[in-house]
Structure 1
């Protein structure tokens, strides 16, 4: 198993993610090569909670222009982690 800090990059904070927290689901941006088992073990080890389900999705980067130059934002992988009822992740509690 990989180091949990290498699997989870950062929590994802947006309006939609705050509404997901009411359903006990927490979104993270994770390493592109991480699988669901590694994500589950990383969240359980770092936050001392019980994970019921992990949903992952790969988001393709958009094409962007800076004047006449064209670039591309990097691809990223998101994971939505469903926790056992009663468990909370304290990182998100101040939002």
Structure 2
């Protein structure tokens, strides 16, 4: 799926891994329903909850042009306690 860009590894996302929550940067057009179906199908896990938010805009200037880059969306996915995503496993 091209809409899921990559997993996020920040201090906050690493802290959330302890609570079985995984963070992904996704396309700004992707909604929670599509993301839930994709995660459950691709990783064979059960999603309990999902939170999403847009990253703040950062203004920029390139020459005489002033504008904002395209923002992306970040999703935090909570899984069942018995499930995990192998991409993030600590084995």
Q: TM-score range by the shorter chain?
A: 0.7 to 0.9
RMSD over aligned Cα atoms: 2.1
| 1:1-80 equivalent positions in 2, closer than 5 A | 5-64=1-60, 70=66, 72-80=68-76
SS at structure 2 position matched to 1:6: coil
Query: 1:11-39 deviations in whole A, cap 9, x for unaligned?
Result: 11111101000001000011111111111
- C-alpha contact 1:8 1:42 (8 A) present in aligned 2: no
- C-alpha contact 1:61 1:76 (8 A) present in aligned 2: no
Alignment of 1:91 onto 2:87: yes
TM-score by length of 2: 0.85
For structure 2, which runs of at least 5 residues remain unmatched after alignment?
A: none
Q: How many residues are paired up? A: 91
TM-score by length of 1: 0.81
Moved over 6 A (4+): 66-69
